[in-house]
Amino acid sequence: MNEDEKEEVREEIFSHLKEHAKELMIKGYTEEEAVLQAMKSFGNERKLNWEMKKAAFPFYKPVRFIWNVFFVTAALCLISFSAMEFYHPEFDNALPLESVMMGFFLVVFIAGAAEVLYEAINQQFKSKWLANPWLFFFIPSLIFGGVQSMSFLKNPEQYPDGLWLDLFAIPIGAFAYLVSRQLFTRIFVRNRRDFIGKID
């Protein structure tokens, strides 16, 4: 399907949804209720939302993934730099480029593997619990961080001056990843109401 065809499909979907939402508003629904009801009556809400995102933004997932990787890498670098500055302000703290690049590729590998697994499990099981990215990405990372923290409890002397943060790099990274996913959707892909457009 070329870009013109995609645009036609998108406009047709928007047109049907707007008309249906207007009818519902005439019947007394609020704008928000009418939009949600129109989407539900049109078909599976989640599937429709994803189809609309694809039509409006064909490279949604790859672009979101790249955004997430940069966001997480920047967040981890900032936390690392802040910890060094806090514990050793007397030093000229800096993050070497090779460390940043190594962190970037590590995030690419871990996040890429997690996203592939997430998509595969969602397609296979179609479970609401598994479809929630916060549960899928964050809960295992917290468990991993909890297991890692056992070594801190056994040998705290091995983790002076902020090194204990390394034990929680995965949960911190997972949290940053999920926040970046939310930000991407809010900033670059408008919410469902904006997809349909303002009802006149």
Amino acid type, 62: P
Could you give the CA distance from residue 41 to residue 143 in angstroms, rounded to a whole number? 40
pLDDT digits (tens, 9 = 90+) for 62-75: 989 999 999 999 99
SS3 111: helix
What is the average pLDDT across 124-137?
81
Could you give the CA distance from residue 131 to residue 119 in angstroms, rounded to a whole number? 9
Q: What are phi and psi of 143, to 5 degrees?
A: -65, -45
* Of 191, 194, 190, residue with least CA distance to 18: 194
pLDDT digits (tens, 9 = 90+) for 102-127: 999 999 999 999 999 998 888 788 77
pLDDT of residue 72: 97
pLDDT digits (tens, 9 = 90+) for 171-199: 999 999 999 999 998 887 654 444 444 44
Global pTM value = 0.69
What percent of the chain has pLDDT above 90?
36
* Of 62, 69, 141, residue with least CA distance to 104: 69
Could you give the CA distance from residue 154 to residue 31 in angstroms, rounded to a whole number? 57
Q: Where are the domains of the chain?
A: 3-58, 60-188
pLDDT digits (tens, 9 = 90+) for 135-162: 889 999 999 999 999 988 899 898 888 8
